[in-house]
Amino acid sequence: MSEGIGAAVKRKEDKRFITGRGKYTDDIRMENQAYGAFVRSPHAHAEIKGIDTSAAEAMDGVIAVLNGKQLKDDAIGDIITGWAIHSKDGNPMNVGAWNPMATARVRHVGEPVAIVIAESQAQARLAAEAVEVDYEELPAVAAATTALEDGAPLLHDNVPGNLIFDWEIGDEAAADAGLAGASHVTELDIVNNRLAPNAIEPRSAIAVYNDIDDHYTLYTTSQNPHVARLVLSAFYNVAPEHKLRVIAPDVGGGFGSKIYIYPEEITCLWASMKTGRSVKWTSDRSEAFMTDAHARDHVTKARMGFDADGKIVGLKVNTVANIGAYASLFATATPTYLYGTLLSGQYNIANVYCDVKAVHTNTVPVDAYRGAGRPEATYVMERLMETAAREMGMDPAELRRRNFITEFPHQTPVIMTYDAGDFHALLEKGQAAADVAGFAARKSEAASRGKLRGIGYSCYIEACGIAPSKAVGSLGAGVGLWESAEVRVNPVGTIEILTGSHAHGQGHETTFAQVVSDRFGLPMDNITIVHGDTDKVQMGMGTYGSRSGAVGMNAIVKAMDKVEAKVKKIAAHTLEASEDDIVIEDGEVKVAGTDKKMAWHEVGLAAYTAHNLPDGMEPGLKEGAFYDPTNFTFPSGTYICEVEVDPETGVVEIVQFTAADDFGTVINPMIVEGQVHGGVTQGIGQALLENVVYDEDGQLITGSYMDYCMPRADDVPSYVLEHSTTVAPSNPLGVKGCGEAGAIGSPPAVINAITDAIGNNNLTMPATPQKVWAAIQEVGLPQAAE
């Protein structure tokens, strides 16, 4: 079937986007709409001594100026973190309180202090500049390692030493013993650079309060509108769930940054109630750099031991993770259960130990961003493997082969049970596609042009499709991570799928419809996907952690199972046959081996007319399901990067990038490839270009696209993609998830390639020309290019 599972169906949603008819939050205008502009802290750390709003209130168009104390007085709750982590000593974590708008103290540049509501955006912004806040500056700290030092400025009274938790996973004594007995130990100091997510659509919110019904509607840039409603109701006391509707219309990219319910959305809802006006706020890019949750920011010391045959005998990892000024929703899960649990990589390692110190600093909160913990783990593993191979004089691919896990299920020493994979096949496919055999010739040809050519591998595994609710609950999660779906078959046989997943670029309107089309043999045109509105869709946990396929689509499958069962009952009754003999194919419901059949829409009509249903059967044809996964899914792959470095300038060109991935069942290869292209580019961005920089006083240096270097089209090559498939055994569709793999697997491949080219392992991300040039100077020019 051309539109079913595995077909490269063109996207249904494209037409509105290519004609400018998409409807993003900022495109919406409400009756009675006013605009909000935030007064933000220019300081990284300061006491608020007073706020003088009188000048602002007198300005043209100003409706109200509201501050954090008023918000607190109205019992709006503090912002929560959703995952409780315990330290290795058994104590619960300590996190600082996070007021939606600061009341007494600001702890990062950009923290909101007040909001101005005015008739126009320009008036609101002008008035926000006229609000005078009396600050008393305090010493600030931006680097997590510095924040742990004695005498460092303290952010929160209830967080001694700025230490949120000191968590561990694995067996330290076993890892130490493994390392002690190793014939070779590779040790690396690793920095995983801080990133800003940079969805191109800035965050936006329109809050609409209806005083007649005491009801709120929030239009917002969310990856998970139901989670937003849940949190706004249960924790922030904005309104009970039945009086709060959250709509996430077209959303222009998320990458994690639009999971969270930020101060701005909460404040707009409250301000709408206070002013009786619809309140719209749209972030500009500078605000985004100061408010959207940042990412990564780990400092790690890692030691990996090998026996004489190159088998890994122990791994010990010590990480300091910067959480920022406040602990955001998934901030505590990201550097723990999404990081430490992946430190076995694709390798059979008996002894793994990791500890993570999570730290408050005077920076924007750090949270999950494309990959979330798994890129950091992969970077540790794959830098270690490549470096170890070089130190031991081994081919880096061969070192990996000797350590690959080959039997499944495989229980790692760090919780995960890998259920499927074929790492040898991925490596072989990757090597063939990258023509590794021809690398030596390419290297010498490059040398003849004065260029240093290098090759680097990354063999990643990740855990996505989060997650089994019971398992994550036992590990501290505050929510279950199932997904829900409803399949509505209309009387004319067309189908609406209501899903709790949310698309913001992933193409669900196409891929989800393909799954339904495949199941019932119906044309794609007859199937519509409904998402992003809490009034339409019953419930959902949303889209992040590459879960829409592995969890969201399988919820649809479960609901379709129920629809199919009822369709068969109706058809069996109508056609006077046994249910067991009914088959559904090509849009028809047939009695196998006979010419008796009903068209699909005839079954729909029969269900709704209810003139001739089996005794006791309810009319209608609409079924829902909640799907709770039984395991994570484990995408894996081999990425091979080839670079050329100009030794005169340190400029790196990525001349070839090959990705061989195993995503399990692929619903739409065109869309899956697009996800890999985007993910790999974000990983290349991290490796070569992107870096959030704070100065020692906590001032954000990279506050716009003038300073924060986003990957452009000429920074990346066209990609070479390969697939090798092992079906995920834990879910009915066999899908694993493809959204994050590219960003997870690619950074170490890039750095391994550069360090191979220049013959110096001492290189940190982003590998800017200046850093690469300095690294070349440090060791001298490799022979090949002289």
Q: How far are the Cα atoms of 83, 339, 632 from residue 464, in angstroms, in the given order?
A: 17, 12, 6
Give SS3 for 180.
helix
Residue in 3, 111, 166, 201 binding another protein, rule: CB under 8 A: 201
CB of 783: closest distance to another protein in angstroms?
A: 31
Of 477 and 700, nearer to another protein (C-beta) is: 700
Which residues lie closer than 8 Å to 780 by C-beta, 6 or more apart?
none
* Closest by Cα among 452, 460, 449 to 763: 452
The length of the chain in residues reads: 786
Answer yes or no whether residue 13 interacts with another protein by CB under 8 A: yes
CB of 437 to another protein, least distance (A): 25
Q: Least Å distance between CB 455 and another protein?
A: 21
SS3 content of the chain, % helix, strand, coil (to 5): 30, 25, 45
Distances in Å between the Cα of 566 and the Cα atoms of 552, 570, 580 are 22, 6, 12
Smallest distance from another protein to CB 659, Å: 11
Give 68 or 249: the residue with its C-beta nearer to another protein: 249
Stretch that binds another protein, among 53-61, 179-187, 597-605, 669-677 (CB under 8 A): 669-677
Q: Nearest approach, Cβ of 624 to another protein (angstroms)?
A: 28
Smaller CB distance to another protein: residue 161 or 674? 674
Q: What is the dihedral of CA 171, 177, 182, 186, to 10 degrees?
A: 50
Q: In the structure encoding, which two tokens stand for residue 734, read together?
A: 């066999």
Are 298 and 192 spatial neighbours (Cβ–Cβ below 8 Å)? yes
Nearest distance, CB of residue 14 and another protein, angstroms: 4
Nearer to another protein, 25 or 319 (CB): 25
Closer residue to another protein in complex, CB, 222/755: 222
Options 69, 215, 243, 285; binder of another protein; rule CB under 8 A: 285
The partner residues of 467 in beta bridges, in order of sequence, read: none
CA distances from 283 to 296, 492, 625, 732 (A): 22, 44, 37, 41
- The 149-188 site mask, x for binding another protein (CB under 8 A), equals ----------------------------------------
Q: Give the sheet arrangement for strand 46-52, strand by strand.
A: 105-106, 46-52, 132-137
Q: Closest approach of Cβ 709 to another protein, in Å?
A: 10
Question: Residues 675 to 714: which contact another protein by CB under 8 A?
Answer: 676-682, 704-706, 710-714
Interaction mask 73-112, another protein, x per CB under 8 A: ----------------------------------------
Please select the residue that binds another protein; options are 371, 505, 734, 747, rule is CB under 8 A. Answer: 505
536, two tokens: 């339409």
Binding of residue 2 to another protein (CB under 8 A): no
Unique residue bearing structure tokens 């990201």: 334
Is residue 11 a contact residue for another protein (CB under 8 A)?
yes
Please say which residue, 15 or 49, places its beta carbon nearer to another protein: 15
DSSP designation for 310:
S
Regarding 470 and contact with another protein (CB under 8 A), the answer is no
Q: Which of 445, 331, 315 is nearest to 381 (CA)?
A: 315
Token duo for residue 270: 């409250």
Lookup: tokens for 533: 């509105």
- Contacting another protein (CB under 8 A), which of 68, 170, 178, 202? 202
> How many residues bind another protein, per CB under 8 A?
58
Cβ distance to another protein smaller for residue 576 or 714: 714
Half-sphere exposure of 496 (CA within 13 A, CB side): 10
User: Should residue 284 be labelled a site residue for another protein when binding is judged by CB under 8 A?
Assistant: yes
Q: How far is the CB of 121 from another protein (least distance, A)?
A: 9
Strands 132-137 and 46-52: antiparallel
Q: Is 560 helix (H, G, I), strand (E, B) or coil?
A: helix
**Nearest C-alpha neighbor of 687 from the set 644, 617, 751:** 751
* 309: amino acid identity, one letter: D
**Shortest Å distance, C-beta 413 to another protein:** 35
Say which residues have a Cβ less than 8 Å from residue 740's Cβ, sequence separation at least 6: 370, 371, 372, 374, 375, 462, 464, 545, 546, 679
- State which of residues 75, 200, 212, 437 lies at the interface with another protein (CB under 8 A): 200
Residue with tokens 């995408």: 635
Task: Print the binding letters for residues 207-246 with another protein: x by CB under 8 A, - otherwise.
Answer: ----------------------------------------
- Identity of residue 549: G
Binding to another protein by residue 251, rule CB under 8 A? yes
Q: Does residue 716 interact with another protein by CB under 8 A?
A: yes
Per CB under 8 A, residues contacting another protein are: 10-11, 13-24, 26-27, 29, 122, 198-202, 250-253, 255, 284-286, 504-507, 670-671, 673-674, 676-682, 704-706, 710-714, 716, 718-719, 742
